[in-house]
Structure 1
Amino acid sequence: MLDDTDRRILRQYQSAPGDGLAELATRCGVTATTLSRRLDRLRARGVLRAVRGVIDWQALGYSVEVSLRVTLDKSAPRAFEEFQAEARKVPEVLEIQTFLGQVDARLLVIARDLAHYQTLYRDRILALPHMTDVEALMHVARLKSDETLPI
């Protein structure tokens, strides 16, 4: 699917996505035209999905991160869909994952401080539909956070 040039482009692109085409082309050893054409092809094939800005939420005053493991009422026909739809409406929920097994979903939640988290938990999280159990795991330290793929 990918040749050596595509892999080189992807490695360089993910290491410095903000660099201009000319700079990136030089680092990849191709012309800007070739780079542009290959990036377009990688986007069309779905290999490159998006370029996005990543905002450090801690720099904006959020200091609490909690992972909530949620068990849902599986007897309700649309429990997963309704839970997810409502959870998406909570701005402090940064991530929603679903699982097969004892835990049905995981929410990654941020808050400004413990008081804000407590209010958020009582007013918004506990109001989410179809929850039968929720377990909170308070984040202490991030030991690795890397979206760079081994290409």
Structure 2
Amino acid sequence: MLDDLDRRILRHMQADPEQSIPDLADRLGLTSSRLTRRVDKLRSEGVLRGRRIVVDWQELGYAVEVSLRITLDKTQSRAFDDFIAAAREIPEVLEIQTFLGQVDVRLSVIARDMAHYQEIYRSRILTLPHMADIEALMHVARIKSNETLPI
């Protein structure tokens, strides 16, 4: 799958995703064309899925983050599909995860303040279909948030 050069490329790209191909090629001791071919291969194989811009939602005035753990009414055959489709329509829902176990779905929700969260919760979250139980966990601190893989 990945050889040592691929791993070195990925480690350097993770460490500094904004570096240019020529700069990265110099660091790796490669030509720009060889590096470009390797990066294109990693993209075509699905290892690299593009570049992203990370927006700091707190800098945009969102100060509250809540994790909602939801159990669905699984007697309804379309419970997951209907719930997820409706949850995707709520702009303040940043993440939707599904699980096997007692909790079926977790939503990560942001709000400007507690009054805004209460409005989202009452008008949007509680109207989501097929919910049997919901538990809210107020986010206090993010201890580790890292998407860098140990390659």
**TM tier relative to shorter chain:** over 0.9
SS in 2 for 1:134: strand
For 1:11, the equivalent position in structure 2 comes to 11
For 2:106, the equivalent position in structure 1 comes to 106
Question: How far does the alpha carbon of each residue in 1:109-136 deviate from its partner, in whole angstroms, 9 at most, with x for none?
Answer: 0000000000000000001000011000
Superposition deviation, residue 17 in structure 1: 1.1
Superposition deviation, residue 50 in structure 1: 1.7
Superposition deviation, residue 103 in structure 1: 0.3
For 2:128, the equivalent position in structure 1 comes to 128
SS in 2 for 1:97: strand
Q: Distance in 1 between matches of 2:104 and 2:28?
A: 43
User: Matched residues, percent identical?
Assistant: 68
Superposition deviation, residue 104 in structure 1: 0.4
Question: How far does the alpha carbon of each residue in 1:35-78 deviate from its partner, in whole angstroms, 9 at most, with x for none?
Answer: 10000000000100121100000010000000000000000010
1:45 equivalent to 2:20? Answer no
Gaps of 5+ in 1: none
Task: State the aligned residue count.
Answer: 151
Superposition deviation, residue 24 in structure 1: 1.2
SS in 1 for 2:102: coil
TM-score normalised to the size of structure 1? 0.98
Structure 1 consecutive aligned stretches of length 4 or more whose deviation exceeds 6 Å: none
1:91-102 map, 5 Å: 91-102=91-102
1:1-151 map, 5 Å: 1-151=1-151
Q: Distance in 2 between matches of 1:90 and 1:57?
A: 16
Gaps of 5+ in 2: none
SS in 2 for 1:141: coil
Superposition deviation, residue 23 in structure 1: 0.9
Q: Distance in 2 between matches of 1:35 and 1:55?
A: 29
Superposition deviation, residue 15 in structure 1: 1.1
Tell me the C-alpha RMSD between the 2 structures. Answer: 0.6
